[in-house]
């Protein structure tokens, strides 16, 4: 079934395997509508590790895993607010990546390259975890016939082929297919499990309320973090969730502001339904002793108990989730390497050469990921869980850059570095107050970055470039937006 999934996916995207320009590779010539964008965001965002690592959290702690639906809506509000200027500046000035947008706004190559590095460094652990998940699924679903390493190779080769040949266009097209499978297939399979094993939602909740009531409230059984931990994970993930370059860069592939905003409306609703049913299933699964000994393999165990079709189907769903994320990540990194590093260092790179650099980057990233993927996965999962402490530092740089004229490059650079340093220091040295107060390291880093950027902003006036940029943007709004006047109001009344 997994091979069939790959075959159908490649068949669907076969016409997209060929790019005419770097613009096409990076942004698909800004051509996608809301349906494609919504499912592309979902497919990139929902990771294959959801059925392993996140399943472990949901089966163990229950309600706490619902933090994902809480943060999803905050992420979409961020997407809603960054959309207008990202789209306008992107389309007007030919901007193709998040880093390029920030470099443009702050008029700084340093900001551009720093944010590019941040995007790549904090993304890599996710990439590795997803590739390893692919290998794990191949091995599990084939009963050990395909070893994990060769499963990883198979998965990454398919992704590398369609990303390098088709760029953003093939990634988004494949994402729609993957997104439909993982959302509708995943939801249907979970509902099947709930009715087959627990007699429906109502009886499932009754059983849990009688036997494991602590699974239904925060923080769940076996641990006791204070409430600020809940606050932190929702706020940090929510504000940082859309700042991954692999999610943010999708904005440059959309055909209008309306498209992005419709996606921001639809995605959290679809995600909330999908993920809630997933967590409810995990909460009910908690009642099986077999799953508690291997919480990460709980869903695969349940599927294998349901027969080969269910197991194969779950394998396809996990693979769809994983391939969607991996392809988005690899496309974003390769675009950043070509656009924000190579083309900044050497301005005279031709369009064709820019595409080739991106393609070589795809191969290099794939090989490096495979190499690291064979090493210590425990470390990668550990790192992946803490990457939000780093990526969240892009939030002040992005949001103040888009909405506050006074935000300047000095504040952005110092804030980004100092905030990340504080965040990482607290994360890795883990002082006692982090656990006792519950506020996660990213919160302290985020606050420091905001303070630095605001102080730096008041230390000097906005430059001529920024004044003109704001003026030009306002002119665009004036031409297009109809604000009700007092005259029309009086006519209505």
Partner 1 sequence: MLNINLKLKNIIFLIYYSLITICMTFPGIFDLANKINPWVFGLPFVIFYLFLCIALLCAGLCIQFFIESKLGELDIEVTPIDNNDVSGGENR
103 lines the binding site for partner 1 (CB under 8 A):
yes
CA–CA gap between residue 336 and residue 119 (Å, rounded): 9
For partner 1, the binding residue among 432, 483, 487, 489 (CB under 8 A) is 483
Site for partner 1 in 365-424 (CB under 8 A): none
What is the per-residue binding string for partner 1 in 324-343, x denoting contact by CB under 8 A?
Answer: --------------------
In terms of CB distance, is 382 or 465 closer to partner 1?
465
Minimum distance of partner 1 from residue 187's CB (angstroms): 16
Which span sits near partner 1 by CB under 8 A: 177-185, 252-260, 319-327, 417-425?
252-260
Beta carbons of 126 and 329 less than 8 angstroms apart: yes
269 lines the binding site for partner 1 (CB under 8 A):
yes
CA–CA gap between residue 141 and residue 19 (Å, rounded): 35
- C-alpha dihedral sign at 408, 411, 414, 420: negative
Distances (CA, A) of 236 to 2, 27, 53, 68: 35, 28, 19, 11
In terms of CB distance, is 153 or 208 closer to partner 1?
208
CA–CA gap between residue 194 and residue 264 (Å, rounded): 29
For partner 1, the binding residue among 256, 304, 306, 356 (CB under 8 A) is 256
CA–CA gap between residue 383 and residue 387 (Å, rounded): 6
CA–CA gap between residue 452 and residue 454 (Å, rounded): 6
Cα angle value 273/279/282 (rounded, 5°): 145
Which span sits near partner 1 by CB under 8 A: 250-258, 315-323, 372-380, 415-423?
250-258
Q: Percentage helix, strand, coil, to 5, in the chain?
A: 85, 0, 15
108 lines the binding site for partner 1 (CB under 8 A):
yes
* # of chain residues touching partner 1 (CB under 8 A): 63
For partner 1, the binding residue among 1, 17, 88, 207 (CB under 8 A) is 88
CA–CA gap between residue 453 and residue 466 (Å, rounded): 16
For partner 1, the binding residue among 46, 49, 69, 453 (CB under 8 A) is 69
347 lines the binding site for partner 1 (CB under 8 A):
yes
CA–CA gap between residue 172 and residue 9 (Å, rounded): 12
295 lines the binding site for partner 1 (CB under 8 A):
no
Site for partner 1 in 447-466 (CB under 8 A): 465
346 lines the binding site for partner 1 (CB under 8 A):
no
Beta carbons of 401 and 412 less than 8 angstroms apart: yes
Question: From the CB of residue 347, how many other CB atoms can be counted at a distance below 10 Å?
Answer: 6
CA–CA gap between residue 76 and residue 260 (Å, rounded): 10
For partner 1, the binding residue among 15, 92, 196, 460 (CB under 8 A) is 92
Contacts of 371 (CB under 8 A, 6+ apart): none
63 lines the binding site for partner 1 (CB under 8 A):
yes
CA–CA gap between residue 414 and residue 114 (Å, rounded): 11
Beta carbons of 332 and 119 less than 8 angstroms apart: yes
209 lines the binding site for partner 1 (CB under 8 A):
yes
In terms of CB distance, is 81 or 149 closer to partner 1?
81
For partner 1, the binding residue among 6, 35, 218, 425 (CB under 8 A) is 218
CA–CA gap between residue 431 and residue 171 (Å, rounded): 42
CA–CA gap between residue 139 and residue 132 (Å, rounded): 11
28 lines the binding site for partner 1 (CB under 8 A):
no
Minimum distance of partner 1 from residue 181's CB (angstroms): 24
94 lines the binding site for partner 1 (CB under 8 A):
yes
Which span sits near partner 1 by CB under 8 A: 92-100, 302-310, 360-368, 414-422?
92-100
474 lines the binding site for partner 1 (CB under 8 A):
yes
Site for partner 1 in 149-188 (CB under 8 A): none
- Residues of this chain that interact with partner 1 (CB under 8 A) are 63, 66, 69-70, 73-74, 76-77, 80-81, 84, 87-88, 91-95, 100, 103-104, 107-109, 112, 201-202, 205, 209, 213, 216-218, 226-228, 230-231, 234-235, 238, 256-258, 261-262, 264-265, 268-269, 272, 276, 347, 465, 474, 476-483
């Amino acid at each position: 079934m997994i091979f069939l999934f790959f075959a159908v996916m490649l068949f669907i995207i076969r016409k997209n395997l060929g790019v005419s320009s770097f613009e096409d590779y990076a942004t698909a010539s800004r051509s996608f509508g809301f349906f494609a964008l919504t499912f592309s965001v979902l497919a990139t965002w929902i990771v294959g590790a959801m059925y392993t690592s996140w399943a472990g959290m949901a089966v163990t702690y229950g309600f706490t895993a619902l933090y994902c639906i809480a943060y999803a809506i905050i992420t979409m509000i961020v997407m809603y607010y960054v959309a207008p200027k990202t789209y306008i500046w992107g389309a007007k000035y030919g901007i193709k990546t998040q880093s390029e947008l920030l470099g443009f706004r702050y008029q700084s190559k340093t900001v551009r390259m720093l944010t590019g590095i941040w995007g790549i460094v904090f993304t890599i652990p996710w990439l590795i975890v997803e590739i390893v998940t692919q290998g794990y699924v191949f091995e599990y679903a084939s009963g050990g016939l395909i070893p994990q390493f060769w499963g990883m190779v198979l998965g990454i080769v398919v992704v590398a082929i369609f990303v390098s040949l088709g760029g953003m266009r093939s990634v988004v097209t494949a994402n729609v297919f993957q997104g439909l499978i993982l959302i509708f297939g995943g939801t249907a399979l979970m509902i099947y499990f709930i009715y087959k094993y627990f007699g429906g939602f109502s009886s499932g909740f009754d059983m849990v309320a009688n036997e494991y009531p602590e699974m239904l409230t925060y923080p769940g059984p076996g641990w006791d973090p204070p409430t600020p931990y809940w606050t932190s994970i929702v706020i940090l993930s929510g504000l940082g969730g859309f700042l991954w370059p692999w999610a943010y860069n999708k904005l440059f592939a959309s055909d209008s502001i309306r498209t992005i905003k419709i996606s921001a409306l639809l995605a959290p609703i679809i995600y909330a339904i999908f993920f809630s049913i997933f967590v409810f299933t995990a909460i009910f699964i908690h009642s099986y002793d077999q799953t508690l000994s291997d919480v990460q393999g709980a869903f695969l165990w349940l599927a294998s108990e349901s027969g080969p079709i269910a197991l194969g189907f779950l394998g396809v769903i996990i693979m769809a989730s994983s391939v969607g994320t991996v392809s988005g990540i690899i496309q974003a990194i390769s675009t950043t390497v070509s656009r924000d590093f190579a083309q900044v260092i050497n301005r005279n790179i031709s369009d064709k050469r820019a595409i080739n650099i991106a393609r070589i980057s795809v191969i290099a990233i794939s090989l490096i990921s495979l190499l690291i993927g064979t090493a210590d996965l425990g470390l990668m999962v550990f790192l992946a869980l803490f990457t939000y402490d780093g990526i969240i530092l892009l939030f002040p740089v992005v949001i103040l850059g888009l909405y506050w004229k006074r935000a300047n490059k000095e504040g952005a650079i110092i804030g980004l570095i100092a905030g990340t340093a504080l965040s990482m220091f607290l994360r890795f040295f883990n002082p006692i107050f982090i656990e006792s107060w519950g506020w996660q390291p990213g919160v302290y880093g985020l606050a420091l970055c905001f303070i630095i950027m605001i102080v730096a902003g008041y230390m000097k006036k906005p430059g001529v470039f920024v004044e003109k940029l704001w003026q030009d943007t306002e002119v665009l709004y004036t031409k297009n937006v109809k604000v009700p006047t007092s005259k029309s109001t009086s006519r209505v009344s």
